[in-house]
Amino acid sequence: MSKAYDVMAASCPSRTVLHRIGARWTIFVITALADQGGPMRFTELKRYIQGITPKVLTETLRALETDGLVLRVDHGDNPPHVDYALTELGQSLRAPLAAVREWAETHVPDILESQQRAAGSAAGAAGTHH
Amino acid sequence: MSKAYDVMAASCPSRTVLHRIGARWTIFVITALADQGGPMRFTELKRYIQGITPKVLTETLRALETDGLVLRVDHGDNPPHVDYALTELGQSLRAPLAAVREWAETHVPDILESQQRAAGSAAGAAGTHH
DNA sequence: CGGTATCCGGAGAGATACTG
DNA sequence: CAGTATCTCTCCGGATACCG
């Protein structure tokens, strides 16, 4: 039997899924919650993911909640108390994203070096055109 | 010893790397070249990755070349003949991205279902505001 | 075949300030 | 604490057409 979904097909819904996963801040939120190993509060996430703005964090969390990857629990106290945690589905995304994160952190030097070389040869070739 | 790079740090270069990997079409090109197992030509890639436009494919390939993930070989014939292949660094990205692709294709139904439920409860709650 | 050259729109990212 | 409310702006991605 053939696969039900194929990302190479133009109108396959898996492309939408991929788009969500690839969204700028998704990997950070999932990774943060995974790193922590338990529920985190809004401010805690914001502190952990350095440089993220509250607006973007909210948007990302809402999207992940909609997709069933993150569970939002409002304890309704005053002052407010809201917890975010990975759902089971979210947990299943831990390993793949951890691998990507690991790859990124590991290969920074390689890529920087390649970029240097590319910039260098571009500059060197700059006079040769036209 | 501590890690040299940490994606959670605001100005860590690994964030740029992550941004590149997360770029809309990166995973498709890497995956296509991995699926194929050998070099592919421009038109071949375009046919394989359904729906990609030539402009975007070119941009993606150039970026991947700059980062040292893809090697471009121009055979200089007429008609033109250009091959693209994964470098060793590109190969090392196969496994992580394959995992993500696999996850996406596998969990489409779960996510679609969650989205349905979210849309449904949003509609149900629509009258309750204000 | 293997790309370029344009033009364009809109989503998403960011900064900043404010609120229950 | 946990978000909203705006506003701005970039740039990414897509469509279309053309070139050596």
Tens digits of per-residue pLDDT, A93-109?
999 999 999 999 999 99
Under 8 Å CB-to-CB from A33, ≥6 apart: which residues?
A: A39, A40, A45, A70, A84, A85, A86, A90
Cβ A28–B21 below 8 Å, yes or no?
no
pLDDT the model gives residue A129: 44
pLDDT the model gives residue B110: 97
pLDDT the model gives residue A130: 39
pLDDT the model gives residue B126: 55
Cβ A99–B96 below 8 Å, yes or no?
yes
Mean pLDDT computed over B106-120: 95
Confidence of residue B129 (pLDDT cuts 50, 70, 90): very low
Please provide the average confidence, as pLDDT, over all residues in chain B: 93
B18 touches B67 (CB < 8 A): no
- With beta carbons under 8 A apart, name residues in chain A contacting B100: 18, 21, 96-97, 100
A105: left (phi over 0), alpha (psi -120 to 50) or beta: alpha
A93: left (phi over 0), alpha (psi -120 to 50) or beta: alpha
d(CA B61, CA B29): 8
pLDDT the model gives residue A14: 97
Task: For domain A1-90, give the fold.
Answer: Arc Repressor Mutant, subunit A (1.10.10)
Sketch the domain layout of chain A as residue ranges.
1-90, 93-130
Tens digits of per-residue pLDDT, B70-96?
999 999 988 999 999 999 999 999 999
What is the pTM (predicted TM-score) of this model?
0.94
pLDDT the model gives residue B122: 73
| More reliable by pLDDT, B41 or B130 | B41
Report the share of chain B in percent with pLDDT over 90. Answer: 86
Q: Judged by CB atoms within 8 Å, which residues 30-89 of A form the interface with B?
A: 31-32, 48-51, 65-68, 89
